[in-house]
Amino acid sequence: MSQDISPSTAFIDGKPFLFQSGETILNVVDRHLGRGHVPTLCDAPQLEPYGACRVCSVEVALQDGGPRRVVASCHTPMAPGMHIFTETQKVRRLRKNIVELVLTDHPLDCLTCEVNGNCELQTVAAKVGIRKVRYPEGENHLDRKKDLSHPYMTSDLSKCINCSRCVRACDEIQGQHVLSMHGRGFNARIIKGMDTTFEESPCVSCGACSQACPTSAISDVFMSKSIEATNKTRTVCTYCGVGCNLTVATKGNEVLSIQAPVDAEVNHAHTCLKGRFAFKFYNHKDRLRKPLIRQPDGAFKEATWDEAYEHIVTNLKRIIAANGPQAVAGISSARCTNEENYLMQKFIRHVVGTNNIDCCARVCHSPTAWGMQKSFGTGAATNSFEDIGYTKCIMVIGANPTEGHPVTGARLKQAVMKGTPLIVIDPRRIEIVPYAKYHLQLRPGTNVALLNMMARFILDEGLVKKDFVEKRCENWEEFEAGLRSLDMDALEKITGVDKELVRAAAIEYASSEAAMSFHGLGVTEHEQGAKTVMLISNLAMMTGNIGRPGVGVNPLRGQNNVQGAADMGCQPHQGAGYFEMNDIQVQKRYSEFYGTNTPSEPGWKIPQMFDNAIAGNLKALWLMGEDVVQTDPDAHHVRHAMDSLEFLVVQEIFMTETAKYADVILPAASFLEKSGTFTNAERRVQRVNAAVKPLEGTKPDGQIMCEIIQRFGHPQADYTPDGVLAEIAQIVPFFKGATWENLGEQGKQWPIREGGVDTQIMHVEQFARGKGHFHFFNWQESTELKTNGTEFPFILTTGRILEHYNCGTMTRRTGNSEIVAKDLLAINPADARAKSINTGDTVKLFSARGEVELEASVTDEVKPGILYTTFHFPENMVNNVTGQGCDADTLCPEYKVVAADIVKVS
């Protein structure tokens, strides 16, 4: 027999197949002959090989005609020239016997089981040909009780086959270590926490275990593995900037459940409880279903879409005629699609005729976009999530990824658990800190001081990558001189972090082969936010950590499409594609493209819109899916602005705190009811596909924008996602090669060149702006603390929790509210003692702006003098307390530093 035995060839049942080094026998069989050709119970594509069930046993000979051995194919590496026999009498008997033994301790009530038709045990039993179980009925565990304690997770361990897939999913995907195998042998059983219920355990409800479970032993209240659905739609999650792919199961026009696709490059079968379970808001009774127009008596009255549009057009035209287009402004939504954001800014700029367009990037990552543009030329992540697998050092600054960006957080945690050193720079002891090698627990508002210390230590230790700096960057001398002028002892006092610890962390980062930084709103929402971003960029440049796998500066973008909203031009100074609006050539280009005049007057940023509303300059505001009253700082001021407007249009899915001030409310459709694209934090433009039709009476935001443009008498086709994307591709250079078809299931990372070639890593040969630019800044104390710090001695810093999303409009209307139902105020034990406050007490939190009452949580996760809370609940309205301080460059609000005080109420 003359057969090719090249190094990458092996034989399966006599036929040669190619394989790659590192593949297991089962990998190769699955890939060439299809998943299921060799049955398995304990193996799952999203998990590491385990070798527990032995159902995947095959016979192996190392050479043709050589002696054969039975091995578990799932964890045996394929070797060149191996001969694999998948269906011999011996392995068939073995598999059958194993499955028979499993079935002796498994209920045979398949017809009434929720996974009937989609049960891997059922499939494997059929595949190996079980007709009856030869063993007599013996001791078993069929009487195990169900656990229905949790709002989402369920278990029925009478159905458990002890394959450990759930345990491995919890360990290998989420990294939570909530599940384990208790005991051994016949007594072995899955436990949650310290042998308790899902509800009592520290489970974070990501659902990875449920999805991995081959039976219904672990499932969820939506019975996600049932085959009841008639349709499955692949789309993208609407919550955070990770952009997890979701598979939405529907029946008729109802969403039944959501799973995470195994092949998704972004999330690999994983998603958090928001993405997987928090979808029931979509048809909640509170959804707005009819346009509402405010009557002269102040009450809202239901109206038809025609009436609402007519009312809007009449009023906006009247206001524009009387005051000019500058009296109108729009705030678009980073929750909406690229197409919708594009249309919104097109309407405001090219139909109304003003640059007064902004989006909620203003209140989160506008300093990132601005700062990284100054340093590198592009305001977006330099690398991809995949790089977490290649990096040798991770630095997390002002971000709480396990709560804010759970799937990326889990990926980071996995890398760290496998040995990648982690540096955390955060005022709180966040969840990932116990895994960190260094935790630099700085005083809020001192990021610039701390990063300057790190840069100086890198310089002092001789760890600057001089050739990178010389070849690729500029303005090094000024930066170096600035660093040399620093007084490190003074900075140590300012930050409150031991300088030797800072030195060690700086050495770790700078001497790593590939160091990757991630930052969040703890960087941007400061008076020196944009400056901090530029300092992070400095660290990357001075150590050569740019333009390679596993390096770079990577903002963890907050909202699902906050990257896209800015890309599409929803900011006053830059139009679609980041063209500067004050450039005459740019204005000319836009004017030619749209056939209208392009506004040249600078537009207002969100805080300026509020100020101008109060001053009487801004008369009309259009809000698309943005609850500024609850989420923007100093809510009293925002309410005053809303009250001062002559005309407020709100496009929303729920009656938000802001919508209550509207003159017209347009009922929009949620992400499950619309199509378009979202761009995630790694610049990946992904297709959002409608899983259900819009709720009766509602319209997708894109359709609303198209119709209003039409009603203003401008040519505009009706909304189609591919049509609007094609228009975007003509005007936004980095979308040039994007088409609806070629985005495919995985999406593409911009810049997308012609032909659809995308970009995983930016600034490889040179920076987008040519040379990377070093900037030096001295630290400055926040004005808020200088002004109010004496009267209000605590520093309040705000953030988010895993279970809720921003103002909670959506998550509060799901089972997530059964898990967390209020904002809590974290207080250090020493401070709590001094103020006689215990956990559970009601505490008044007050600042120069106002006061709120919150429940106290006494914890040493915050240092003495620091308070921490979230702003998810309108009942608490934490933003009554936050101030008007903001980033000097971008006006991003300073949510992270508020001079405050507390007193016990009860």
Partner 1 sequence: MEVPADLEARIDEAITHYPVSRRSAVLPVLHLLQHHFRYITEESVAWTAAKLGLEPIQVLEVVTFYPGFRQTAPGKVHVRVCRTLACAMAGSYELLEKFCQASGIDREAINHHHPIGVSPDGKYSIEFVECLASCGTAPVCLVEDDLHEKVDPAAVDKVLAQYS
* Cβ pair 55, 39 in contact under 8 A: yes
Could you give the CA distance from residue 131 to residue 109 in angstroms, rounded to a whole number? 15
> Rounded to the nearest whole angstrom, what is the least distance from the CB of residue 184 to partner 1 in the complex?
5
Joined tokens for residue 874:
């309108």
Helical (H) or strand (E) element with 607: helix 606-615
For partner 1, the closer of residues 34 and 185 by Cβ is: 185
For partner 1, the closer of residues 139 and 489 by Cβ is: 139
For partner 1, the closer of residues 182 and 786 by Cβ is: 182
> Rounded to the nearest whole angstrom, what is the least distance from the CB of residue 183 to partner 1 in the complex?
5
Could you give the CA distance from residue 351 to residue 384 in angstroms, rounded to a whole number? 37
How far are the Cα atoms of 306, 403, 868 from residue 520, in angstroms, in the given order? 42, 12, 16
Angle at Cα 787 formed by Cα 782 and Cα 792, nearest 5°? 100
> Rounded to the nearest whole angstrom, what is the least distance from the CB of residue 202 to partner 1 in the complex?
8
- Nearest residue to 681 (alpha-carbon basis) of 549, 526, 550, 553: 553
For partner 1, the closer of residues 394 and 650 by Cβ is: 394
For partner 1, the closer of residues 35 and 177 by Cβ is: 177
> Rounded to the nearest whole angstrom, what is the least distance from the CB of residue 435 to partner 1 in the complex?
8
For partner 1, the closer of residues 173 and 331 by Cβ is: 173
> Rounded to the nearest whole angstrom, what is the least distance from the CB of residue 177 to partner 1 in the complex?
4
For partner 1, the closer of residues 180 and 710 by Cβ is: 180
For partner 1, the closer of residues 167 and 473 by Cβ is: 167
**β-strand partners of 439:** 424
Could you give the CA distance from residue 721 to residue 337 in angstroms, rounded to a whole number? 9
**β-strand partners of 147:** 155
Joined tokens for residue 32:
């060439």
Number of H helices, E strands in the chain: 29, 36
- Nearest residue to 747 (alpha-carbon basis) of 221, 409, 267, 212: 267
> Rounded to the nearest whole angstrom, what is the least distance from the CB of residue 518 to partner 1 in the complex?
22
DSSP label of 767: B
* Cβ pair 288, 278 in contact under 8 A: no
> Rounded to the nearest whole angstrom, what is the least distance from the CB of residue 406 to partner 1 in the complex?
18
* Cβ pair 221, 154 in contact under 8 A: yes
Could you give the CA distance from residue 222 to residue 153 in angstroms, rounded to a whole number? 9
Phi-psi region of 665 (alpha: psi -120 to 50; beta: other; left: phi over 0): beta
DSSP label of 652: E
For partner 1, the closer of residues 177 and 251 by Cβ is: 177
Residues lying near partner 1 in the complex (CB under 8 A): 177-184, 187, 191, 193-195, 434
Which value, to the nearest 10 degrees, does the dihedral of the CA atoms of residues 338, 343, 345, 346 take? 140
SS3 793: coil
For partner 1, the closer of residues 183 and 595 by Cβ is: 183
> Rounded to the nearest whole angstrom, what is the least distance from the CB of residue 608 to partner 1 in the complex?
49
Does residue 751 have a cis peptide bond before it, meaning omega lies within 30 degrees of 0? yes
For partner 1, the closer of residues 178 and 732 by Cβ is: 178
Residue with tokens 């609303």: 704
> Rounded to the nearest whole angstrom, what is the least distance from the CB of residue 180 to partner 1 in the complex?
4
> Rounded to the nearest whole angstrom, what is the least distance from the CB of residue 171 to partner 1 in the complex?
9
> Rounded to the nearest whole angstrom, what is the least distance from the CB of residue 178 to partner 1 in the complex?
7
> Rounded to the nearest whole angstrom, what is the least distance from the CB of residue 421 to partner 1 in the complex?
15
Report the first-to-last Cα separation within the chain, whole angstroms: 88
For partner 1, the closer of residues 184 and 285 by Cβ is: 184
Computed over its alpha carbons, how large is the radius of gyration of the chain?
29
